[in-house]
Every structure is written in C-alpha cells, then in structure tokens.
Structure 1
Amino acid sequence: MKKHTLLIAPLAMSLMLPLMLVGSASAFAYSGGGLEGYEVGVKADISGLPRVKQELVVAPALPKHEQTATGGPKIIEVRMVIEEKEIEIEPGVFMWAMTFNGSVPGPIIVAHEGDYIELTLVNPETNSLPHNIDFHASTGALGGGSLTLVNPGEEVVLRFKATRVGTFLYHCAPGGAMIPWHVVHGMNGAVLILPRDGLKDSDGTPLRYDRAFYIGELDYYLPKDANGKYKRYPNPIASFADDMEVMKTLTPTHIPFGGTMGALTGDNAMHANVGESVLFIHFQANRQSFPHLIGGHGDYVWERGNFNDPPAHGLESWVLAAGSASAFIYKFRQPGVYVYLSHNLIEAVLLGAISHVIVDGEWNNDLMEQVSAPRKIE
C-alpha cells in the first residue's frame, strides 16, 4: 500500500539531497526489507537455495561461471568495497575516482536467470562521501539505489532476483548532481545474466564461447587551469565545482576503454587464439558508442544486450546505447593484432576509446593474402 512518494526525490532534487543524507542514509532502509512506506506483500522464498560466493575480478576478466546452469536457482553472493582513490588517467593527469572494489570499471557480476544476486556493499569510514548502487538488471526501488545508500563506515546487504536475461549496467546514483558526477568518476560496471540453458543463435542452436572479455567504456571531464594544464585536487569533493563546468559542455576530455588511457592496448592487450569463439561485453553509462572489431565482425550481436532476442548476424558495427551494455561473439579466424574500438574514430584515436586483441595461430591465405609486396612503381 502506497503511503508517500518520498523516494522519487533522489532523481528530482538538487545537489543538496546527498549532502542532507550524510548521517541519515539508513533512513531509506525499511526494517521489513522492502521500500519504506510500502507494505511487504510477497516475501522471498529462498529457503533451501544453495549459496555460491562469487569472487569478483578486475576487468577485462570475468569471474568463473557456468555457461549453462546446472541445477536450480542459486543465491550468488558478492561483496563490493567502495574505494575513493586517486588514479592516473594518463601520465601526469590525475583524477579522484570513486570505485567499486578499487577498479575502474567496477567488476562484472555473472548469474543465470532465476538466480538471486546478494550484494554486500561496504563504504569504509576512510571514504568521504555516501554511495549506493543502481542495478539496471533489477526491479524496483530505483534499481536498489533507494535501499543501498550508505555513509562512510556503513555497509548494507541487498538481494534481487535475476528475472531478465542479458547484459546490464550498474552505477552509483546517490541523488541530484551527484549521480552523473559519481558515474563520470568511474563508479559503474556491468551484470551478465545468462539464460539457464545458455546462449543461442537465431535458430535456437546453442552457442558456446571459449573465453570472454568485459570492456568498460568511461567518459571523463577533467578541468584545466588557465595555462591549459590538467588540474590536480587534494580530495574527491575538491574538484566538484570545476568538474561540473566541464561536464555541462557534454564534451569529454577522455573516453578510455578500461578506465585509463591505453588500459587495454599494447602490453595490456587481451589475448585469444585462432579458432576460439570470444564473448565481448561492452558498456557505456552516459554516451552512445559504436563498437567495431577491425579485421573481424560481430558473428552474433545482441545490440541491446537482451538474450531473449535473436542475435543479429555478421555485423560490421552497431550502436551501444547510453546507459546500456551490449554483447557479441566472434570466432577468430586469423592471427595478428585486432583493434576493437568505437568507430567514432576521433574518440577512438584521440580520446582513448580503443583496445587491442592479440590472436595467436596460423595464417590462412585463403582468407587474405598479400599477392605482392610493396614495390616501386615502374
């Protein structure tokens, strides 16, 4: 039964809301486990469900998981510790990042349809700001944001049922102007919810992948001083006013794949082998992106990340919507260095929306052959 509409406020109020919540974040938590102001009509029936602790890992890796679920639904237990830390975006350029588990992007969580994801979210007392988490994969309470707001020195446990399959974004959303500010300071990640019987092509034939990579595309808005040099700040909140002015231009200074410039290129490249099918998961919280694998294709593409939809076949590029995650599978057929990027080439080459995949194996001249080497024109 609806009693009031207090919880619309986090998206409607100004910057003052998250500041007012310091010292009273737990006011949003209802003692019965549901949203404050509403009666609990249905209780979770999880008695007897097995619990599985999932060890989260740093991108571009995914945690160990089954592609096809064995047995019935499970409770997937994960723990995230929020860490406010200064990171170096590129040599000499620093930003105070707000992170899930100390990494940008935050780690990906993997479950199957019908499982429950149970998150323990920890905000250590060494942090300076309240934080929460909005799961696009979940249903209700602003994606869990209304039930997870924690001040420094607090922790909270949220459980939600994976009712929809696909790839989904998660991010911090503490209210007002703090929402985009936390997001563009690194506080986002993804969830992969697989069908219980695994992925399938458009004909219903099962699809398997030999390895998987998870790519977080970030957009940063870093202020410069009067001399055009990037500023450096003593703590997270010190940059807020300057950040907001840059953010309002809607013009990022950096758009790195993997959190920092070159995080997934060169010595940090992803690796695969000829003949392997690779699942790529890619998210962007704020902006459109245009995924393209130079030298390859999207054999199977779920542009909007919904695995209940049949995948598109053989795409050269596609559109990743702002605030979403997409997925595609490609079977590598040739060795060499592949470039995976956003095909806004200005953003890719100049602002960092680029990564490398190094593929080992034997070359196939039937697919491509240099018939004659470069030579002087006679």
Structure 2
Amino acid sequence: MRFFPAVLALLLVLPACAPAPDAGAWKTQSDPEIVSFDLANAQEVTQELVAPPFLPEHEQVASGPPRIVNIRLEIIEREVEIAPGVFVWQMAFNNSVPGPIPVVFQWDWVDLTLVNTTTDTVRFGRAENQLAHNIDFHASTGALGGGELTVVSPGQEVGLLWRAQKAGVFVYHCAPGGEMVPYHVVTGGNGAIMVLPREGLRDGYGNPLQYDRAFYFGEQDYYVPMNADGTSRRYGNFVEQMPDMLEVMRGLVPTHIAFNGSYGALTQDIRLEAEVGETVLLIHSQANNPSYPHLIGGHGDWVWPDGKFNNRPDEGLESWDVVAGGTAAAVYTFQQAGTYAYLNHNLIKAFLFDAKAFIHVSGEWDDEIMTNTFTPRPVGGG
C-alpha cells in the first residue's frame, strides 16, 4: 500500500495532537509548598499503634501541613503455637504478626524508635531476644530502606527519621543481611505502613472516597521443621530453630500459611464486624510470596492492586494481585447481611492451609439483590 506524502505527514502529526489521557486529569500534583515544607516547622505527634487487623486512629484527609509522626516498634523473639501442636519462634514487631500498620500522610515525616527488647525492657509480653535486628521500610528512600541505619542488638534502641514521599501501602520487614533476611521475614518479622494522599482517597472518577472501617490482613508463610511422624519440632530459642528452618526454606514449599500469624486468628480468635451500607477498606500484604485476595459474596468496588493510591484504582474486581514483597488495597460497600470470607483465592492456601478471614456483616437482607426462587426440592417437583 502506498501513502501519499501529505497523508503520511498527517498520520505522523495526529498522535501529537491527540488529547492527553484522562488519567492525567484524574491525578493531582503535590502542592509545591507541601513538598518544600521545612522539617523545622513541622508539628510532632505521637501515634499509638495497635495490633492488626485493626488500624490506629487516623484522619482520612490531612488537615494541615506535613507533621512528624512518632512511632515505636519493639522487636520480640517469642514462641507461638501457630497451629494445633505446631510451635514456631517468631520475630514479631510489638508482639504481633504482622507488625502494626502506622498511618501517615504523603510528605509527613516518620520518626521511628526501634527497640530490640530484652526481658528488662519489653512492654509487650515476654522477650528472649538473642539476635541483632533492623527494619527496611519499602516506603522510604535510601540506606536500604533504613535497614543500613537501624541495626540494633538486644537491649539497644535506634532512631530513624524519614519522609513519606510516596502514597500507598508499603511493606516493612527486618533485613539484617544474607540468609537472615528471609529467616526473619518468614518467622513474622514484617508488617506494612499506609501513606494516605493528603487529599484522601479517590475513586476511579476522581471523586472523594471515605471508608467507615479498615482491616489489615498480613499473609504469612511458615517453613516448620517436621519429625518423621508428622509432628513439628520444637526448639529452645529463635537461634536454635534457625538451621533446621533454613533447610525447609530451601525447598521453597511452605508447611503452614496463615492470615495474621496463626491458624484461626481471623476466623475464630478475632471477630471482624461491619454493617450493611458501610464501606470497608481491605488492606493486604505478603512479604515473601504472591497472593490473590478475593471476597466471597462481594467484590472490590475500587482496587489498588499494587496498593499505591496515586494510581487510578480498578473498578469492580472479583480477585486481585499482591506481588511478593508488596501490598494491595480495596474498598467494598457491603450490601447484604451475612458472613463473608476474605481469602487468598489460591484455594489450596485458603482451605488446606489457613489463608482466610471472616467478616460478619449485620443488617437487613435485600431480596431484590438475591433470593431463592424456590428452596431445595425433588427434581421436577414443582
């Protein structure tokens, strides 16, 4: 096919004249005054962290200039029964797996005190720490996410100040180097931080989006050394467990998978509740393996598959992705009463293991959304 020079020239010009993608209109650039706000003028506040699946008290829209948000994380080596008769020495932030999820706004500063606890200094439960630890914030910039600047031995604490330049949910984890990195991560040394856009969340059309509740699900894979008779081995401390667990880890096949640290944590131990008409923010992290969240009986009304709030969210998803070492976030407005299962839709991990949670929703049932046309009866028995 031959193109006349004038037609060819027009074709070459057309892309340059095409309108900008509407995603450009959806996004808003950060206010230069906020970006350049002086640290010396920032107000300090302290955020009291809570154990997941819950989030600390927080605003959804920033009400002033960037602040310095003080948080404290204590590292605890502890033995936990993760499933009936199965004991693991965990590395837990603030005595929780996953660790707490701080909530700040984009362009705030995070002022962390990281404590490697001992029996004399622990505030949460009991500590028998023997190893050095640190923290790598995927949300931060420089020095291995802070890992290079935060190595602490038992009985020590360290401070780290960093600026939250990117909006979204980001993993953090212990990363002391070499084989210690995966060992600390798969024994529970991970969590997430949520960095909200200063103007709050927006749907795919750019409209403000508020949530009534938020739950944080941390999916954890374990590599438990087992005896020949199928029982799990038990160890005296975190260090003693390590050589055998590293051997299991080299096979890349988890022996146990759970939401929020242990089997039954979010189906039996902790009751998650919501009401019809409420919008719930569902936050998911997996520090070591991919995951595929799904809400049985519901959807992701708006989903940030990579957990990054300055990207346009996807609408109406049935399942979504969490990459290894990453996160996802979704909002859903519950329309029907009942018990919903939120799970990894690799159903083997959900049901043969325990990568699932229940959300109990109270309220009225709407027959116009769903109802039986007839109840079970003999075939043909009309």
Q: Give me the TM-score of the superposition, normalised by structure 1.
A: 0.87
Equivalent residue letter for 1:231 = R
Please give the residue correspondences for 1:99-178 in structure 2 after superposition, counting only pairs within 5 Å: 99-126=92-119, 127-178=129-180
CA distances 1:163-192 after superposition (whole Å, capped 9, x unpaired): 000010000000000000000000000000
Equivalent residue letter for 1:88 = E
Instruction: Give structure 1 stretches of 5+ with no counterpart.
Output: 1-42
Shift of 1:232: 0.6
Q: What's the counterpart of residue 84 of structure 1?
A: 77
Assess if the C-alpha contact under 8 Å between 2:37 and 2:66 holds in 1.
no
> Percent identity between the aligned chains?
55
Find out whether 1:49 has 2:42 as its counterpart: yes
Q: What's the counterpart of residue 210 of structure 1?
A: 212
Separation in 2, partners of 1:375, 1:248: 53
Q: What's the counterpart of residue 30 of structure 1?
A: none
Q: What's the counterpart of residue 233 of structure 2?
A: 231
Shift of 1:269: 3.0
Larger Rg: 2
Shift of 1:44: 9.8
Shift of 1:236: 0.6
Aligned length: 336
Assess if the C-alpha contact under 8 Å between 1:269 and 1:355 holds in 2.
no
Shift of 1:267: 5.2
CA distances 1:276-331 after superposition (whole Å, capped 9, x unpaired): 00001100011110100000000000000111111000000011100001100000
Shift of 1:374: 1.1
CA distances 1:237-295 after superposition (whole Å, capped 9, x unpaired): 11111101110111111110111001001452311000000001100011110100000
Equivalent residue letter for 1:56 = L
CA distances 1:43-100 after superposition (whole Å, capped 9, x unpaired): 9942121111000000000000000010100000001111111111012110001111
What SS does the aligned partner of 2:60 have? coil
Q: 2:90 aligns with which of 97, 101, 104?
A: 97
What SS does the aligned partner of 1:348 have? helix
Q: What's the counterpart of residue 66 of structure 1?
A: 59
Q: What's the counterpart of residue 195 of structure 2?
A: 193
The farther-off stretch of 249-258 and 142-151 is: 249-258
Measured on the aligned residues, the alpha-carbon RMSD in Å equals: 1.2
Equivalent residue letter for 1:367 = I
What SS does the aligned partner of 1:219 have? strand
What SS does the aligned partner of 1:218 have? strand
Separation in 2, partners of 1:95, 1:111: 32
Equivalent residue letter for 2:170 = F
Instruction: Give structure 2 stretches of 5+ with no counterpart.
Output: 1-35, 120-128
Q: Give me the TM-score of the superposition, normalised by structure 2.
A: 0.86
The farther-off stretch of 164-173 and 124-133 is: 124-133
Separation in 2, partners of 1:268, 1:350: 20
What SS does the aligned partner of 2:302 have? strand
Equivalent residue letter for 2:373 = V
Q: 1:278 aligns with which of 271, 277, 280?
A: 280
Separation in 2, partners of 1:275, 1:85: 40
Separation in 2, partners of 1:290, 1:256: 14
Equivalent residue letter for 1:297 = H
Shift of 1:338: 0.2
Q: What's the counterpart of residue 267 of structure 2?
A: 265
